[in-house]
Structure 1
Amino acid sequence: MRGKPCSHPSKLLEDHLINTKNIALSIAGHYGLSLSEKEQAALLLHDLGKAHPAFQKRLCRACPDAGSCPQVCRKSPPDQVYTGHAAPSASLAMAYTKDVVLSEAIRRHHGALQDLNEVKAYWVNGTYADRVKELEAIYSWPGAAALELWEQVPRSWLENFPGEDDWYNLCFDLLEMDMPGDDPQAMSKLWIDLRKIYSLLVAADRWDAAVGKEWQTDGLNIEPLRIQGFLETIKDKAQELGRGGLAQWRTAIYDQVLGHAGEKMTAPGLYTLTLPTGAGKTLIGLSTAALAAKRFFGTGIIYVLPFISLVEQNAEVAGQLFGQVQEDHHLAYQDIDELKQYSEDVPRQEFLSFFRYWDAPV
């Protein structure tokens, strides 16, 4: 075993792995999701590949505590080429969990997900020798015991790694023999499972790196008086523009739909709303979502649109109804002057604005 590896400057790797798991659990719990023991184990393994001499050497350049780190963490033998930490972490997760969904989420957690053919090309057709070479360069360290995944931390990550035949059989069975390719419903569930763990992993991983504290959200605050006040404002504006008849028609539809929704939505489920253009579907849809969230103790509202051109308009309405709303499509273009109004730490706030952390209620 070797000395202490870090995940980020001045942050121990085991601390980051544990924090990521706990943050993912918090996000999942907030939205009514659960994480199995295997999923939690995968979260604890997601960055184990950072225990590589070359990666540690790179971290030391920006770390104020570099002088106190063991020298062995910064030595990178010529034959130990660093090609990234996601792939070896994914291999360890595959060997530990025997779950391709979890392993693939780890392998791609710094990039985009791939389609099934690309996934098969990596796991089924990939070279075993490459996986072994990647793991040979990753060192074990005493602090890994804090992950509580092993009775005794392996002295080498190859100790419990499958042999060549077992590895190929494992990958082939998971992606060819056991893959329910002829069952669209089962395949859809696998895809949803992958998206769930991938989203939780990426959000938790980056939250710990960028924020460095427990995940928190303001929560969904539904104020009936606020919604009613917005409705009155719309009516008044319509009257001023000479569109009183249109306003009355929309109000009648609004009241009728919300009344039906109150009767029909007796349990969580899939409900549809069909209305003609101009009837106020945005306002009715968001109000119905608020009704459902309040009735079924929802903790957030996710509003998905088919076109970016619709987002600004719909987000403006949502902002009037709920206050805090996060728009995903335009975050990279957030006004720096606007950020300065809320925080002196503009670089950090700008970084946070680039990514969805599931902490906004709408």
Structure 2
Amino acid sequence: FFGQKIIHDNLRTQCLNLILWPLALMILRSVMGKKDDLTFDRGASVLEFLLNSKFCVKKEILGDLAPNLRKNGWDLDGMPMESFTFPSESEVNKIVGDVKKPLLRTLYNYSLVLNAFKPSFVIVSGKLSSLVVMKKLLSLWMPSSPDRIIFLDKFRPGKWYPFLMNDIISDPKTSVAVGLAIADIARNATVDDGCYVNVSIDENANLNFIGINRVAQDGIPHLSGEEILLDINQNFSEEFPLNDRINIVYRNINNKDIPCNPIYRIGLKKGCHPDQEDPIKMKITRNAEDRTKLEFAFSGTVIKDGNSIKINDNHEDTNKENFFEEQVCTILKNEYYLDNPQFVKIE
């Protein structure tokens, strides 16, 4: 939907969550044995189906999205569900279990890493992990015995779980907070059942392989070996030119097929421009006390209000904070509320 233009990012996200996700979830759940989820009025339109689907969690937004789609050639109210052919259980398992696909290759690479640490238990979550073919592959690749590989498809979160609606956790990052809370209880509440998680930072904890990608660049970033600016054995990078707003991204595994996660967004403030005669350069350094944190140094000249100003952190007027934005970035495109605190106004 809506092509690849950046101005349509929000609309594409809405289409993914409100249209494609309910359809995909309906198909996957039928393969998982929930055959009733594939029962619907075949004479209904796609819009009517979505308005009645329990998997479409924000139906009120469809009223605004449908007219936008209609203007661009997708009339949800004019598309009958009977015109769609849904894949069979065997077809879904064949597609998901294709070891030639990037999903399975990435999963296999993660399995190799897990094997190196020889965990006592492996906990697996995600809708695809509920499929029989996926369970077979994971049981084959994982280092633990099958009875110690715990698939969470048979578990349900309690009503207390944050961002939970209709058994769907809309913000998966909460699992980190909940996991740390459980670890804290195990450590400090005298829970003497062998449950213990070490969440402290040790000298080996770090963002292992660090590079950059442009903010406007679409898709999940990957770094080739040549694009790594800072590897596991380096404490600082070489200087490199800063010509545009960038994301600082990282991966912890030395494999170019592993997708990277963003940690910072760097760029010139509004009204500031690079001087072509003395281009801006940037250097990344690991924090001496906490290798999971990064520090940034800049050199060159900035043009602001028609004046050329040499960057010099030793003086307040020429300090980098006057010219650059260093923003923490937990996911790409600034969609997480901690990166971009925008809240929907409820009338």
- TM-score norm. by structure 1 comes to 0.28
Where relative contact order (Cα < 8 A, 6+ residues apart) is larger, the structure is 1
- TM-score norm. by structure 2 comes to 0.29
